[in-house]
Chains A and B, each alone.
Chain A
Amino acid sequence: MTKDHKDVTTIIIKIIEKAYEPLTLNTIEKNIPQMYRIDKKKVSFILKNLVNKQSLFNWPPKRGKKRFWNKDPDIHSLNKTLEILSNTPLTRTELQNRLQSVMYSCSRSKAEEIRKKNITSLIKEKRVFQHPLLVRQKAARFSTDLPDPALYLIKLKTDFFKICDKLTKAGLTADEIYTSVCEELTPLSLSESKKESSLLNKAGQNKPLNYEEIIIKKIFEIEPDPKKQTLISIEKLRDKTNIPDDVFDKNILILADKGKIWLHRHAYPANAKKKEVVIDKDNYYMGVVIRT
């Protein structure tokens, strides 16, 4: 690579780092200062090299045009899927539409592909749950929360009150009917299986995600040689990993507890922005170093 190419590569990286969304080849080319402009094919070649080195990522095309960004589209889409489904349960189509928007106007078919891939893996990991159909619902919904049983018991409740009416007229008290229902509905097997399933769900939810691995992977991407003991700022690492802030903070502290990284405190936390630090009680950590 010539010296000129090195300069252009640095400029391209900076342009992409500043961008708020994935950029097309044309936009990148336009943003290169006049004195550094080179042939479009050469820009394309540089971008290809950067993608191969994993400094940049290929993003789903917009109107057929290739796009590039420094955030991994797979991680981004996965995080966004979780974020969308944490608010309210959505159908496949609703989720797909939202994904199309958070993936910065990718094609409908691409959004569908992402939705299928993410939903399958997230359900498998028990981080997303498919809710059974309710009365009058035609399509299943998905959410990060377990379905609310109360919604499914409405019919049962109405039937129960009808039976209560009948039986009270026959001389039974409401308490006696309720005790009897409880006895009927809580056989040992059911409660055992309930316990088991709830434990499973909990385990599924708390199952250690691979965020720790993602963070470690990114640290090595920024500084491949741990012997150099390079300090990586929390802000940079946060940007690179693209993990939700609270999850990132938690996993950084876990990694430090496990003795995998050193944490460096900020001397003037009052001057620091929130994304520049990870807070643990009274400590404001601003940087990490891989432990050797």
Chain B
Amino acid sequence: MLNPFIYSIVTDPWDNRKEKSVSEINKHAFDLCITSLKTIQNHKCSVSLLFHGEPGSGKTHLLNRLRVHVYKQQNLHIFISVRLQSSPHRFWRYLRKSFIESLMQKKQKHTQLEKLIFYKLKKTSGKKSIKIKELDYIIEKIGIKNNLSFNLCTIIKHIILKKHKNETLSWLKGLSLPESSIKKLGLAVEKNSNENHEEEDIAREFVLEICRLAGHTIPVILCFDQIEALQRYQEGDPKSLFIFGQAAGTIHDQTNNVLIVSCIQSFFIDLLKKSVMESDYDRMAMYQSTLNPLTKEQALKLVCARLNSCSDITKTSIDSLKSKYKEELNSFIGTHGEVARKIISKCASLFNTWGEIEPETDNNIDIFLTKKLEERKKITEKGLDPSKTDDIIQSSIPSILNIIDNSWKESEKKLPNGIDMVLYNQNFKTGVSFCNHENMRKMVFKLKNICDLTKSNQLDKIILIRHKNLQIKKTAKKTNYYLNILQKENRVITKNPDNSLLSTLESLRTLLADVKSGDLSNRGISIKFNSVKNWLKSNLSDSVKDLLEKITDKEIILKNNQNPDHINSILDIIDKEKVIKVAEIAKILDLSPEKILKTVQNSKSKIGYLSASPPVIFQFINQETNIMDN
């Protein structure tokens, strides 16, 4: 018998599991979404909502519910979901990619994008069927009316005629296309640009074009989830949130049909407010609401809904289970209420206990994380292709490097021509250039810029990144010429990541993003960032370590699995608190009290321990040191 409570996390608004939602849970938030959609249609202006709640309070579930609701509506709605697991410097490019991935999601037989285009054709022509010879004229009319670019109009035609599907999709996602493909699609040749901000501008314009194409009759629901994951550093990353604020403000101001829904954790709201401009905050959070813990009654309704949706349990068993759960939940949920995820996890473990099923959980966090990483690697490896290299590396390396050595950060300054990312610490500055172009003209332009850059001393090291599967043909004479020049430079090295390295980085990126957003949990308890940090410091794969060593230009020594980092964390806390209960510090560091005691015993010279009831540890001041100081 399948445990009906096995899924405690909705990771994706596109999740199609058939568990029924309980309408009264987070009703006010859901109603706010529906009212806002009406406001958009009536007043022809974009609206923004900001939802906040504890991890597991149902933020992503709310988005899922909204998606299911609008999919059932007769009027066409466009639903876009963006999990912000990206580098802030690639925000618009990532948004463009996410837009397309959502638009390619199917609604009945057709994708959202096809539905949108067919609706526009029908509305513009006023006919149910159109002759092919009329197509160019109608598309042109749509383009003029909605201020669309020539290239997008051309792509729309290919979508209608179902031609060049792969190339069309690549162009829509903003990937580099070889010149032959550009000719085949009949697109206008874009000017050679390797400036990051120009590429961001192009992506932004594309996103706004899609919103304009929908027009005020078709609301675009744009959901931002995991905003916390934009932060690259543990001590905070106001720059990335600032960029998000600006983007949300731009979408709000330059569209008249978008419902911007942002979801964050409760504790994050003050940080977000402090990091973004006040005017941007007002634009991204016109209306706010919280997702609160569930009451006992709501929890019981949730349990009943899960049990009822289970086809392999008999009605009598369901009734007896309901009364058993009622009893258990009465003691589990206090007067303060409890979040849905914890309730479902509790129910899952009870179901296992009653059915004498061995639970598939790991008490050891390190084993749990290693297992999760391996699972993710298997999934990501399947969908990997060289075009994702830039995004994966730029979105993962700054935060991983900062975890391993917190003196390293990504530069926010204007980048030198040809360079896509600069990583630096007090002594060293490394530029990273992504050279995964299919289009050799753009590649040559970039390499030429890097050759010019080597003449100056702006960077201590330059790493050229090109995916292992992307071979450079011998016929690409200019590319090979510049590559030969660069290979003679001591400061320039080439790195050819393969799919295995990329899948590890991608899995780490999603794992870190989930942890930052409170979406990674073991038995209903959210995994703390510190736990992942400690695990990563001692479990970094050789391929990632090698790449980091190339960037930092020094050997990376991984920490021993055991204590040093725990000692530092404990010392940090008792430096602030002076005296603290063992249970309390164990909770903060997400370690067992036994592990804390073991660590303390090994460092008696630094930390004092009092075996009172409850046991406490305290800041130990070495008398000898004091005498020396005096």
Q: Using CB atoms and an 8 Å cutoff, list the residues of chain A in contact with chain B.
A: 227-231, 233, 235, 256-259, 262-270, 272, 282-283, 286-287, 289, 291-292
Q: Are B290 and A289 in contact (CB under 8 A)?
A: yes
Q: Would A267 and B587 be within 8 Å (CB), given that A262-B292, A286-B266 are in contact?
A: no
Q: Which of B265, B269, B292, B583 touches A229 (beta carbons < 8 Å)?
A: B292
Q: Which of A230, A256, A258, A266 touches B290 (beta carbons < 8 Å)?
A: A230
Q: Are B528 and A268 in contact (CB under 8 A)?
A: yes
Task: For the complex, give the distance between the alpha carbons of A263 and B290 in Å.
Answer: 11
| B428 adjacent to chain A (CB < 8 Å) | no
Task: For the complex, give the distance between the alpha carbons of A200 and B29 in Å.
Answer: 48
Q: Are A267 and B52 in contact (CB under 8 A)?
A: no
Q: Are B54 and A265 in contact (CB under 8 A)?
A: yes
| B608 adjacent to chain A (CB < 8 Å) | no
Task: For the complex, give the distance between the alpha carbons of A266 and B269 in Å.
Answer: 11
Q: Are B335 and A257 in contact (CB under 8 A)?
A: yes
Q: Which residues 461-509 in B have Cβ within 8 Å of A in the complex? A: none
A266 neighbours in B (Cβ, 8 Å): 266-267
Q: Are A286 and B288 in contact (CB under 8 A)?
A: no
Least distance between A245 CB and chain B CB atoms (Å): 15
Q: Are B267 and A268 in contact (CB under 8 A)?
A: yes
Give the nearest-CB partner of B265 in chain A: A267
Give per-residue flags for B527-545: 1 if the beta carbon is below 8 A from chain A beta carbons, else 0: 0111000000000000000
B610 neighbours in A (Cβ, 8 Å): none
Q: Are B266 and A287 in contact (CB under 8 A)?
A: yes
Give per-residue flags for B275-292: 1 if the beta carbon is below 8 A from chain A beta carbons, else 0: 000000000000111101
Q: Which of B52, B528, B573, B588 touches A231 (beta carbons < 8 Å)?
A: B52
Task: For the complex, give the distance between the alpha carbons of A150 and B471 in Å.
Answer: 95
Task: For the complex, give the distance between the alpha carbons of A233 and B133 in Å.
Answer: 62
B292 neighbours in A (Cβ, 8 Å): 229, 262, 264, 289, 291
Q: Would A230 and B530 be within 8 Å (CB), given that A268-B267, A269-B588, A270-B573 are in contact?
A: no
Task: For the complex, give the distance between the alpha carbons of A259 and B292 in Å.
Answer: 12
Q: Would A229 and B290 be within 8 Å (CB), given that A262-B337, A264-B266 are in contact?
A: yes
Q: Using CB atoms and an 8 Å cutoff, list the residues of chain B in contact with chain A.
A: 28-29, 52-55, 265-270, 287-290, 292-293, 335-337, 518, 526, 528-530, 573, 583-584, 587-589
Q: Are A262 and B293 in contact (CB under 8 A)?
A: yes
Task: For the complex, give the distance between the alpha carbons of A286 and B269 in Å.
Answer: 11
Give the nearest-CB partner of B337 in chain A: A262
Q: Are A231 and B54 in contact (CB under 8 A)?
A: no
Q: Which of A228, A257, A259, A267 touches B54 (beta carbons < 8 Å)?
A: A267
Q: Are A270 and B289 in contact (CB under 8 A)?
A: no
Q: Which of B29, B335, B337, B518 touches A267 (beta carbons < 8 Å)?
A: B518
A291 neighbours in B (Cβ, 8 Å): 292
Give the nearest-CB partner of B517 in chain A: A267
Q: A228-B287, A229-B290 are in contact. List 11 more A-B contacts (CB 8 A).
A: A229-B29, A229-B289, A231-B269, A231-B288, A256-B335, A262-B292, A265-B267, A267-B55, A267-B268, A269-B587, A287-B266
Least distance between B544 CB and chain A CB atoms (Å): 25
Q: Are A257 and B266 in contact (CB under 8 A)?
A: no
Q: Are B290 and A262 in contact (CB under 8 A)?
A: yes
A-B contact pairs, 21 of them (CB 8 A): A228-B289, A229-B28, A229-B29, A229-B289, A231-B266, A235-B270, A256-B335, A257-B336, A259-B335, A262-B336, A265-B54, A266-B267, A267-B266, A267-B267, A267-B526, A282-B584, A286-B266, A287-B266, A287-B267, A289-B292, A291-B292
A229 neighbours in B (Cβ, 8 Å): 28-29, 289-290, 292
Least distance between B146 CB and chain A CB atoms (Å): 34
Q: Which of B55, B290, B518, B587 touches A282 (beta carbons < 8 Å)?
A: B587
A235 neighbours in B (Cβ, 8 Å): 270
Q: Are A270 and B530 in contact (CB under 8 A)?
A: yes
Sorted nearest first, the 10 A-B pairs with minimum C-beta distance are A264-B266, A262-B292, A270-B588, A231-B290, A257-B335, A266-B267, A229-B289, A289-B290, A229-B290, A256-B336
Least distance between B295 CB and chain A CB atoms (Å): 8
Least distance between A57 CB and chain B CB atoms (Å): 25
B265 neighbours in A (Cβ, 8 Å): 267
Least distance between A226 CB and chain B CB atoms (Å): 10
Q: Are B267 and A286 in contact (CB under 8 A)?
A: yes
B589 neighbours in A (Cβ, 8 Å): 270
Most buried by B among A230, A235, A270, A292: A270
Task: For the complex, give the distance between the alpha carbons of A177 and B53 in Å.
Answer: 71
Task: For the complex, give the distance between the alpha carbons of A269 and B584 in Å.
Answer: 10
B287 neighbours in A (Cβ, 8 Å): 228
Give the nearest-CB partner of A270 in chain B: B588
B289 neighbours in A (Cβ, 8 Å): 228-230
Task: For the complex, give the distance between the alpha carbons of A292 and B528 in Å.
Answer: 32
Give the nearest-CB partner of B28 in chain A: A229
A264 neighbours in B (Cβ, 8 Å): 52-54, 266-267, 290, 292
Give the nearest-CB partner of A223 in chain B: B288
Task: For the complex, give the distance between the alpha carbons of A269 and B292 in Å.
Answer: 19
A231 neighbours in B (Cβ, 8 Å): 52, 266, 269, 288, 290
Task: For the complex, give the distance between the alpha carbons of A230 and B28 in Å.
Answer: 11
Q: Which of A263, A270, A292 touches B336 (beta carbons < 8 Å)?
A: A263
A292 neighbours in B (Cβ, 8 Å): 28
